[in-house]
Structure 1
Amino acid sequence: MQIDFHHATTYVIARLSGFGHAKAEIIAHAAQYVDDATNDGLICFDNLAMYKRIASAHKMLDYKNIEKLANHQVWIPFHFLPGNEGKAAGLNPDADFRHKIVCKPNSFVARDMVRACIEDRSKPNALHRLGITMHVYADTWAHQGFAGINDRINLVKDVLDENNNPDPSLLGRVKEFFSDRFDDITSDFVGDMLPLGHGAALSYPDRPYLKWHYTNGEGSFVERDNPKDFLEAAEEMCKAMRRFQLGDADASVAGLNQSDSIKLDSMFRSIIEEDGDKRHKVWLKAIENGEFGFPPEKLEYIAKGKGSWKHKAISDTRSKQLKNVIFTYHPSFLDSDWKHFHDALMAHRFVVISEILPRYGISAA
């Protein structure tokens, strides 16, 4: 999924589940920031204090995508949560690792992840952790059938929309990226270069309006209905956020009401725009116009630079982190959204990698 869902739709769902504007804004910002927190390493301050943060994403054409450890510690806990073939803990002990880590929508693993988040709701970074969890939870629908490792299981073929048309956009970008090294770049080359996650499937899994199909890496024909999947994800996210507010992971709660469900479904299907940022602007305008079941709000998202969480925390406007930079320390850093987010990232990764996945016989790092 892209910024239109992870930020704007997540905000809408948070409001519809009962959160006020301020809390929903934090949840939605954290959900999207998972895709934008590409820097890691040590932050050093002028009073000798230090803070070490981790990354939750790499750029698609980043060389780190081919480093297996980076795959396991970034793509698996934050983008391609293993599904254990849809089975509960302990019921699939002898399955092939490659199949165990394929993402499945609303899997037992995903529900355990949501439960762990709810059980930690008393922490100062609880809303940030919820946003991160909602990002990963939503992606179990969008990224179903794919795995967060470099493997031929992800090398899909014949990726076509419902009208049997291919998407030339990524192929063109890859051609431009490698133009000084290769003369003839084909779609097969793209697949070979991007065997991580749904790289070979381009952006098809992330666009809410698409119905599409492909042949997966093991030769099976797969049909996908993104509007249906995205609406189901929204419904389950609403329930999860209601349970979070109650502090009870087992609470019997309602999801979206019928009118809200119809509105979201309409938005998913009608905003037919390949660029996620352009779809995002449409959602923000709808929120500002009060088109949902809550009062109008002016919502924005600044990933990096002036006004971003990072800028507010350490007064840094750079998009890339430079080495040997000393930052001025302010006591407010400890309660900043940026620090809370990165604390929550580390907590989320530890719980998923070290506590939840081992219950399913999965060792990811």
Structure 2
Amino acid sequence: MSLRLLCVIFYGPMNIEFHYYALYYLCRSAGLPEDSASKIAVSSQMVDENLAAWEIRGGDKTSLSIVTQNYQFWDETTARSIYRPFHFLPGEKAKADSYRRDGRAGKYPVTADSPLAREILIAALRSGNPYRIGVALHAYADTWAHQNFSADQEPQNALDPRSPLPPVGHLQALKHPDNPRLVWKDPRLKDEYVDVRNAQRFSQAATMIYRFLTTYRKKGFEDEVFVIGRLGELWENDGGTRGGLAGEDSLARASDYIIEFDIPPYEPEAWIRRLGAQAKGLLGMDSAPEKLGYDRLSWIRHAATKASSALGSTRGSITRASYEESDFAAWNQAAKTHLDYCSLIFEQRGIA
């Protein structure tokens, strides 16, 4: 198996547990209408699903949908236009330096709840566009999951110098940073930080997101201890060791939210399916609900799609007539607006 295919198998997105299920719950708890909560949560999860562009065909021209996740980590363009704006927003370097044993973080390390990430989220909230809010919340939430890593391929991302995997993003940490229920070790960090309890990190992310959402709704967040506590109980109920059958089975994980919080089951690529999209490639339109989960079989299947994306192929085609005025079109425009806004801020701040 090639190194590149190994990488796309093991380098996973932040868990759908947070980007869709927890976010949906937070939106509803903050008082957002069902329709808005759904659009925000689906928009957030869609950021991790768009590994390859769709061709939008109609009339005398063909356009491409935006790509918001990709595994061509050897390409610097991917770091600049995908990883940095959507998954690894630059944070506060001095803070990141202070956490490390060597005191030397990379040039643009991620730090939780960074001023830049807040600025991007606030701009999205001010727009009132639920699709853009969902995209921005994805990037904002990732500042907790991906803290102390960066979008670039650099030595500071290395957890083990003997690893055959290149030090880009959290590739060497595999999926550990993205599982809300996991406890793991980050050997780059000082003794007081080396043991990472994801449940604590994700609870902090949920708290701040809930505060932003309630403020957006012009209401208070006095009930945040109760609201966030319910999520914390879900993530902590196994002591952070849920990595066996229950932890690996994304259907079981999703059912926790469906039963406990009455969240609608996530339908992968539902917005695209409604358009009668014609998929091509190795897998076509995979409707398996565990598509982006943690069970091993789904990751192997999904790796084939990732490998296809890495070769630069498009995912398939959609007619322009069905695309226009659709949720997918609105999401694409929102993701492009997010990218343009990030690019402008990065340029103003001298972030390459």
TM-score, normalisation: structure 2: 0.75
Which of residues 244, 266, 276 is equivalent to 2:216?
Answer: 244
CA distance in 2, matches of 1:215, 1:195: 14
Paired positions, count = 300
What does residue range 79-158 of structure 1 map to in structure 2 within 5 Å?
79-85=87-93, 99-121=106-128, 126-157=129-160
Alpha carbons 2:188, 2:194 under 8 Å: kept: yes
- The unaligned stretches of length 5 or more in structure 1 are 88-96, 158-186, 247-251
CA distance in 1, matches of 2:216, 2:249: 28
Alpha carbons 2:57, 2:317 under 8 Å: kept: yes
Alpha carbons 1:32, 1:135 under 8 Å: kept: yes
- Does residue 300 (structure 1) correspond to residue 308 (structure 2)? The answer is no
Partner of 2:339: 349
CA deviation profile, 1:328-357 (whole Å, cap 9, x unmatched): 442x52221111111111111111122x22
CA distance in 2, matches of 1:237, 1:71: 25
Partner of 2:202: 230
Partner of 2:347: 358
CA deviation profile, 1:280-335 (whole Å, cap 9, x unmatched): 5345434443x34xxx35x122324xxx21122353343568669765442x5222
- Does residue 17 (structure 1) correspond to residue 30 (structure 2)? The answer is yes
Partner of 1:161: none
CA distance in 2, matches of 1:275, 1:2: 16
- Does residue 78 (structure 1) correspond to residue 86 (structure 2)? The answer is yes
- Does residue 254 (structure 1) correspond to residue 221 (structure 2)? The answer is yes
CA deviation profile, 1:42-84 (whole Å, cap 9, x unmatched): 4222x335433221111xxx4x111011111111011111003
- The unaligned stretches of length 5 or more in structure 2 are 1-13, 96-103, 286-304
What does residue range 190-339 of structure 1 map to in structure 2 within 5 Å?
190=164, 193-216=165-188, 222-246=194-218, 253-254=220-221, 257-270=224-237, 272-273=242-243, 280-282=250-252, 284-289=254-259, 291-292=260-261, 296-297=262-263, 299-304=264-269, 308-317=270-279, 318-319=284-285, 327-330=318-321, 332-339=322-329
Seen in structure 2, the aligned counterparts of structure 1 residues 44 and 335 have a Cα distance that, compared at 3 Å, is same
- Does residue 31 (structure 1) correspond to residue 48 (structure 2)? The answer is no
Shift of 1:130: 1.0
SS at 2:196's partner residue?
strand
| Aligned-residue identity in percent | 23
Letter in 1 for 2:138: H
Partner of 1:5: 18
Letter in 2 for 1:147: S
